Chains A and B, each alone.
Chain A
């Protein structure tokens, strides 16, 4: 078959793609989305099926039998979980304007730039082999079509004679034009998605056509083909895992790698999350996409078996899809198969390179330029938007060139699937940080960095480096003998684990250490504030849907500066659009406003993040916005949002010390104030109540006397008048005591300290009060007053204490045989005054409260006491002001003993 025909068909095919993309984009610009359909979404997800699937699976099946299916069963198995996982990814990404997997992971760990760079590096370096197999497959396809049945042509002397080189150039141009036609802040490319969905149909139909041709035309159906294969011992062994040496462990690792790949491959993330038009498309895709995978795989084993039986080992099995039709003279079908494979390769390269270029420019080039002030700085005259696109185009060229180099030097010696699995293993390194980030709030950026680095290093050491050594690019001794001659460092038998194939071996060790370090470091490090809020946002995205990003850091910027900045990166039209959107959303007008508030800064940052990635946007924004100190209120809000973290006390420690002490002081002061307020409110309520009670009696009874004077006899009138007097006394007593408390508490009346003799004071007071005791039928016993007890005290206050205690004792002592014992004496450096009665005593529960304001004892026998409930509180306060203490001892039924301790004068 002539080269010109093949190139012509390929060009025609590519032109068709352009037409589709252009047509869809035109409609999209008019606001009509043609790709917003669950079926288009599911079909575009089938970008998962690349030249690997189209050519490589057959090749793999000729040695590994059905084990190649693991690559498709992993994603199919994950599909039921998409409902939870993928929708969550989409919601988070829409909320945070995330544009790539690197953006996603770095945003989760506090918009950490290091993580963005790491993920980008892992993705770019890890995916290079994967892109290289697409280039190789297309070159293979062309060679097979042009040289079928001839001996393979000698390798070209100059690279410009190599078809692969021109294929690379063509692919790079195609990708650059397709993926970077415009700078969309959301990185949405509807035309691209439509073209990819179309390509998925082409490759499926092409492969099914070949499969049906082989199974039903060359052979007489499945039964015929399989029975012949079983008869041949060389192909019969391919029909079981046992015959192909597929162990459970190899199988599991393969399924696991591909399960990760379906969410973590940059192009899968791009198509399934970034290009997603609505999370509502996910449910249907959950079964349509696996169905697609099933269909494209049904004929892989039959084609492999047929090829093996037809050609034996004469032809590279990776080309069976084309060479089998050719061997039957079906040139048109072979050409169709090539176009199918070509479409599989182009779809992969276009989306993968676009996704990688977004990451590469946003996380590596732009931050570098910003730091060296070459980009977005005051002096830059170049329009940032077009420059950003140029950077992307250059990075696409660069990546494809790297892939070409890889294929020329290393990739040629391996089959397609083996090289592709190297990329799968690389991408799987993102899994712990990615999945952990979505479900484990405690994960920190240090943990993510540690896991990513160790995973990447082990991957590189166990997979690409040995293959480079095999290609002669590195000395091969470390592969044979281990690094530095240490045999446990052999890259294919690390730590002595020697009986696994290289992929399974590398995947096992790298994922093990990656996950382990990620968890261990996370547990042992403290997350930053931003990390905490982002973690909460990622893990609990459903809380935030519809709301704005939690603006933890309060930032301000000049509106003008903000406008200039956005102009530079997004262009004038887009900037005006953003400002209008903000005004409409917040209901404020920006005209005449000098300072942009935090929400506008954040709003601008999210939009900017859409263009240059979260980490870069943050960096740029920091140049114009200054962060204010976080206020108490905001800290409280953060605390609330991250209750889990507060339990560990981590947030507070993460704050700088100044803020920490300030916070603590404020909290304490606030608490104290609140407490005082509450006490004051309680006090006022109680006093009011205590005043209202006697006033009620007085008002009612005096009105009765006034209104019904003629109905009352003299005795009654006398009784009522007496009550008026008692209740009035009660009011004045209460007022005096409240004033007393006020005085004592506020130190308004300082103590008039003088030399006093407690013995004398007690004796005098007791004598004065004995009259009252006698009236109540109580006996007063004094002891210990013979010897002087010198104290330094305020005479009036001390008398108040003694009177209070004595009158209480008299009031509460036994009604029949009342007896009050008063005793004074020394105890060490203190003087002791004890007042003991023989009343009902104080219940244990009351003993603690008895010194509080307004605590009153109700004796069942006497009903409500006539006190105010303030006496003992005042007593206690006075005693304490004198440096003493008071306590009560009582057993119910056996009376109560109050004991006052005061410092002896010599001890003062």
Chain B
């Protein structure tokens, strides 16, 4: 089985650092992006299996990133997990409507994030 690829997108380097550690520890291959546009560029080249996506970022926000990715046929298999401090019901709805599979709210629990990613990779 090939190594799963995770793209971590957040404008907070410290959060990216933490998630990167957690993902690498599970043996996944990771890439980082610090804003929306960078995320889109990375996604196109890296072809991740899962994108862990923040919402409030300079330039393109996470919702828009998700919509763009959903429009790209070559990224059809790619799963999107929102990880954001925006926690209202409406935000969640927007997130799911933009094409995400899961919506997690910051601050998150390390084990929960890891479990969600594992399950997503295992059961699709």
Contact = CB atoms under 8 A, between A and B. Distances in A.
Interface in B51-104: 56, 58, 85-86
A692 interface: yes
Interface string B26-41: 0000000010000000
A704 B21 contact: yes
A863 B32 CA distance: 14
Nearest to A689: B85
A478 to B, nearest CB: 81
B7 interface: no
A692 to B, nearest CB: 4
Given A858-B58, A864-B12, A864-B58, A696 B85 contact: yes
A858 to B, nearest CB: 4
B58 A700 contact: no
A70 to B, nearest CB: 68
B15 interface: yes
A243 B97 CA distance: 82
Interface in A713-732: 720, 723, 726-727
A648 interface: no
A726 B14 CA distance: 10
A853 to B, nearest CB: 15
B18 A692 contact: no
B34 A701 contact: no
Contacts of B107: 692, 695-696, 698-700
A704 to B, nearest CB: 6
A708 interface: yes
Contacts of A692: 85, 106-107
B34 A863 contact: yes
B108 interface: yes
Interface in A29-55: none
B19 A700 contact: yes
A696 B110 contact: no
A689 B14 contact: no
A801 B17 CA distance: 34
Nearest to B12: A693
Contacts of B85: 688-689, 692-693, 696
B4 interface: no
Contacts of B108: 696, 699-700
A864 B11 contact: yes
A701 B25 CA distance: 14
A693 B106 contact: yes
B22 interface: yes
Given A689-B85, A692-B106, A693-B85, A704 B22 contact: yes
A698 B11 CA distance: 16
A710 interface: no
Nearest to B11: A864
B14 to A, nearest CB: 4
A711 interface: yes
A785 interface: no
Nearest to A712: B21
Contact of A723 (B17, B25, B56, B86): B17
Contact of A697 (B14, B22, B25): B14
B18 A701 contact: yes
Nearest to A692: B85
B15 A700 contact: yes
Interface in A663-721: 688-689, 692-701, 703-704, 707-708, 711, 720
B14 A723 contact: yes
B54 to A, nearest CB: 9
A703 B58 CA distance: 28
Nearest to A857: B58
A689 B110 contact: no
B14 A863 contact: no
A696 B12 CA distance: 10
A727 B14 contact: yes
Contacts of B21: 704
Nearest to A693: B12
B55 to A, nearest CB: 10
Contact of A711 (B11, B25, B56, B110): B25
A858 B56 CA distance: 13
Contacts of B12: 693, 696-697, 864
A218 to B, nearest CB: 89
A387 to B, nearest CB: 67
A850 to B, nearest CB: 15
B15 A696 contact: yes
Name, among A693, A694, A707, A723, the residue most crowded by chain B CB atoms within 10 Å (CB to CB).
Answer: A693
Contacts of B34: 863-864
Nearest to B19: A700
B82 to A, nearest CB: 13
Nearest to B56: A689
Contacts of B86: 689
Contacts of A695: 106-107
A700 B13 contact: no
Name, among A692, A694, A720, A727, the residue most crowded by chain B CB atoms within 10 Å (CB to CB).
Answer: A692
Nearest to A691: B85
Contacts of A688: 85
Contacts of A726: 14
Contacts of B25: 708, 711
Contacts of B22: 700, 704
B9 to A, nearest CB: 13
Contacts of B110: 700, 703-704, 707
A866 to B, nearest CB: 10
B90 to A, nearest CB: 12
Name, among B13, B15, B22, the residue most crowded by chain A CB atoms within 10 Å (CB to CB).
Answer: B15
A733 to B, nearest CB: 15
Given A689-B85, A692-B107, A864-B11, A697 B58 contact: no
A447 B20 CA distance: 80
Nearest to A706: B110
Contacts of A700: 15, 18-19, 22, 107-108, 110
Contacts of A711: 25
Contacts of B106: 692-693, 695-696
Nearest to A723: B14
Nearest to B85: A692
Contacts of A696: 12, 15, 85, 106-108
A859 B109 CA distance: 31
A858 B60 CA distance: 13
A809 to B, nearest CB: 21
Nearest to B113: A700
Contacts of B109: 699, 703
26 contacts: A689-B56, A689-B86, A692-B106, A693-B12, A693-B106, A694-B14, A695-B106, A695-B107, A696-B12, A697-B17, A700-B15, A700-B18, A700-B108, A700-B110, A701-B17, A701-B18, A704-B21, A711-B25, A720-B17, A723-B14, A863-B11, A863-B34, A864-B11, A864-B12, A864-B13, A864-B58
Given A700-B22, A864-B12, 4 more contacts: A689-B85, A695-B106, A700-B18, A858-B11
Interface of A: 688-689, 692-701, 703-704, 707-708, 711, 720, 723, 726-727, 858, 863-864
The 7 closest A-B pairs by CB, nearest first: A692-B85, A700-B18, A697-B14, A696-B107, A696-B106, A858-B58, A699-B107
